[in-house]
A and B are shown apart, each in its own frame.
Chain A
Amino acid sequence: MQRSRVRPHPAALCCMSFPLSLTPFMSSALTYLGPPFNEKDFSPPRPNSTALSLPSAATRLELWHGLENQARLAQNQKAYSVLLAAVRELARSTLCPALKTSLLHFCTGLDGLLGSISALMTTLGYALPPPSANMEMRPTMNDFAKKVEGFWILRELQSWLWRSAKDFNRLKKRLRG
């Protein structure tokens, strides 16, 4: 990540710790979808639905590292705003009370993370990306497609959390350096 000429506010840097983890309820969420979604090697094709209209976390590493801070932060911001809406929808539609509670709790954490990224971008003088598309404009999907979408929301979320954790550590080091 390139060194920025603008020093971020210390408070924004403090927020770059990364406590979010899907691990506690990932297993129960996949079990809730039923087999084969909870099987280790199961990988349905990624749908191009509105809920998944987010930057892919699977961008090749060298390409990702080649991006500027602003671009990467913007992609983080975009990804988490889409994923937050998607996880909220997952929570709303779930019939399992415990899972619903876990998902809503996670949404609170995601919301905090989005706020931290926005604060950091503002501090660095970057423009915030425009809001994500409205989830209510989704086309009708069959139940299996919805499950696949839910599966991919969780998977993308997990990938973004891993990527962001590394990103923010690197960013923190460079900005402090």
Chain B
Amino acid sequence: MEKMTAPPPNMAASPLPPPDPCFVLRGAQSAVHALHFFGGAQGQVHPLLLSGSLSGLVHIWSLQTRRAVATLDGHGGQCVTWLQTLPQGRQLLSQGRDLKLCLWDLAEGRNTVVDSVPLESMGFCRSSILAGGQERWMLAMPGRGNDEVQILEMPSKTSVCTLKPEADAKPGMPMCLELWQADSSPRPLLLAGYEDGSVALWDVSERKVCSRVACHTEPVMGFDFDSQKARGVSGSAEKALAVWSLDEQQALQMCRTHELTNPGIADVKIRPDRKILATAGWDHRVRVFHWRTMKPLAVLSFHSATIHCVAFATDGLLAAGSGDQRISIWSLYPISTDSSTPLLGHTEGGELPEVPGPWSLHFLHKAGFLS
């Protein structure tokens, strides 16, 4: 087990305790590499949390009992890197480093693999889906060629196209993907972060890059995109976060970069209400920022190893998965006391307090944000 590299919090400097996780899930038995909240929206009071581990297992956690309710073993002991549920039915997609995407049926307590898609890239790239309520949905995954992205129509597994950068671009391997659709147009779009630190926007139907922007000098490890504000944020191995935007001509532009104390961001997630975002740090910490202003709000230290992934639930709960085999669950700036209230719209236009939470100053200071 790794030792904490950071010095212990200096209690004398501030009488107020640092923020704690609400609770911690133990029992993943190996490093946690993927997290995904599931349910809670369809009348379920208590959502489930899915986690994927280095040892190839997917754990399903009940947030009510805070215990694993089921374990899925479908990746032959190889790391599970990505988890995603489909909007209709209780189906789960899991991506493993055994070069397989598994489609699980979780309805009525079942947990069986109903289908699988072979992967042809050994990389770390997580896949993405575009699914409305319909029967058919779209899947983007790393392709056969080193720099390719493969688009499939599901569930038929028909190949739609392969997105291959132009010969002179040389962006390297795709590192992370996000399929989306603008409100104004039905055309599917794909955002892809590449090994060379750039983010590109693909028009899937035309199989061409609309725009590309260089965000980082190191590979893009993770990004998240706010389609309403047409703004995205990405992290990489380097010591900075990049915020970029998409204008009406579908051109990507760098907005700003945000310097960090320690290098290495493994994952970035914007909360569903688009108020805050969280990053998974190699420095064992989760950092929380105000999404609009990028003002640093909190540094969450609990883990004793690299954080591999973060995830937000629709009710605002934050989960972080780490190499220390633990998953920490945090409740920050609760969205609403009533979890049944529809999230979006409810907080629309609302502002977070300037200095939210009594502990933040201390932490901003400690994390070097105020120096």
Instruction: Report if A and B associate in a common complex.
Output: no
Residues in chain A within 8 A of chain B (CB atoms): none
